[in-house]
């Protein structure tokens, strides 16, 4: 157990030494969200209507920027080889790394979300729904994204391919998440949407670590 704790600690340590890479996706997200009122219309009604979608799309796009960091360095400097040769359970290693990655790349986003909600004139109900969907949805982004990162880590310029692979997969999540916030705007219950996102998250939590481990092994070949 302490072994996996060690990986977690190491990943956090590295993340905080590469602050620029941590801040970049967040700045991107903030800029996209602030550009919308300028580009579309500053009218509060319009912003409220498009707000949830804008935040979620910006979150998905900025997550793609941060995603590559997950295994890129470990692959390039050979740490991944040493992980495999240490005889540790690779699915568990992947799960720990994804958890650390989620903490450093999505928790700041969650902390930033009240500000985004004010920017886009979301009501309190909408904001609560947004945070709930982000809480359930962003771990899903990390887990599914990590599979694709594992597959593309050995390729040069895998970034574009990563986006092509992942964006279609994230569409269902985007639909359910924004529909939950829309329901909240109309004072309707949105448990169903949350339940579906939670179900996707549980399925991904159970299966993704094995898929990530397999994709990392394949990229060693």
Only segment of 13-21, 56-64, 122-130, 165-173 that touches another protein (CB under 8 A): 13-21
Q: What angle do CA 204, 177, 24 make, to 5 degrees?
A: 80
Dist CA 212 CA 215 (whole Å): 5
> Of the candidates 23, 40, 76, 206, which one interacts with another protein according to CB under 8 A?
76
Q: Rule CB under 8 A: say whether 156 interacts with another protein.
A: no
Please name the residues in contact with 119: beta carbons below 8 A apart, sequence gap of 6 or more. 33, 34, 37, 47
Residue 160 to residue 186: CA distance in whole angstroms: 37
Q: Binding of another protein at residue 23 (CB under 8 A)?
A: no
Q: Which is nearer to another protein, 43 or 76 (CB)?
A: 76
42 binds another protein (CB under 8 A): no
Structure token pair of residue 144: 């599914």
**Does residue 6 bind another protein (CB under 8 A)?**
yes
- Indicate the SS3 state at residue 54: helix
CA distances from 87 to 3, 52, 83, 90 (A): 12, 44, 7, 8
Report, in Å, the least distance between residue 73 CB and another protein: 7
* Cα–Cα dist 122/62, whole Å: 21
Query: Does the footprint of another protein cover residue 220 (CB under 8 A)?
Result: yes
Q: Does 49 bind another protein (CB under 8 A)?
A: no
Rounded-to-integer distance, Cα 159 and Cα 164, Å: 9
Instruction: Examine residue 12 and tell whether it contacts another protein (CB under 8 A).
Output: no
Instruction: CB nearer to another protein: give 41 or 220.
Output: 220
Site track for another protein across 78-97, x = CB under 8 A: xx-xxxxxxxx---------
Please count the other Cβ atoms lying within 10 Å of the Cβ belonging to residue 205: 14
Indicate the residue among 74 and 183 with the shorter CB distance to another protein: 74
Tokens of 8: 């977690």
Is 22 one of the binding residues for another protein (CB under 8 A)? no
Q: Does 168 help bind another protein (rule: CB under 8 A)?
A: no
Among residues 8, 10, 154, 214, which is the contact residue for another protein, using CB under 8 A? 10
How far is residue 214's CA from residue 77's CA, in Å, rounded to a whole number? 20
Residues that bind another protein (CB under 8 A): 2-3, 6-7, 10, 13-14, 17-18, 73-74, 76-79, 81-88, 220-221
């Amino acid at each position: 157990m302490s072994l996996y704790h060690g990986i977690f600690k190491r990943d956090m340590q590295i993340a905080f030494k590469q602050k620029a890479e941590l801040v970049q996706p967040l700045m991107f997200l903030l800029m996209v969200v602030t550009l919308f009122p300028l580009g579309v219309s500053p009218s509060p009604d319009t912003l409220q209507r498009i707000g949830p979608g804008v935040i979620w799309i910006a979150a998905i796009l900025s997550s793609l920027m941060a995603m590559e960091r997950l295994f890129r360095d470990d692959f390039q400097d050979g740490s991944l080889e040493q992980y495999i040769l240490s005889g540790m359970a690779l699915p568990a290693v992947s799960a720990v790394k994804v958890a650390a990655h989620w903490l450093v790349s999505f928790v700041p986003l969650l902390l930033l979300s009240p500000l985004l909600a004010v920017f886009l004139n979301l009501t309190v109900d909408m904001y609560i729904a947004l945070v709930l969907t982000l809480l359930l949805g962003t771990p899903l982004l990390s887990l599914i994204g990590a599979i694709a990162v594992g597959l593309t880590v050995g390729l040069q310029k895998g970034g574009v391919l990563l986006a092509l692979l992942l964006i279609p997969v994230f569409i269902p999540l985007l639909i359910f998440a924004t529909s939950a916030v829309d329901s909240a705007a109309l004072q309707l219950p949105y448990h169903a949407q949350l339940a579906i996102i939670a179900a996707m998250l549980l399925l991904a939590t159970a299966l993704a670590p094995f898929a990530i481990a397999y994709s990392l092994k394949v990229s060693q070949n």
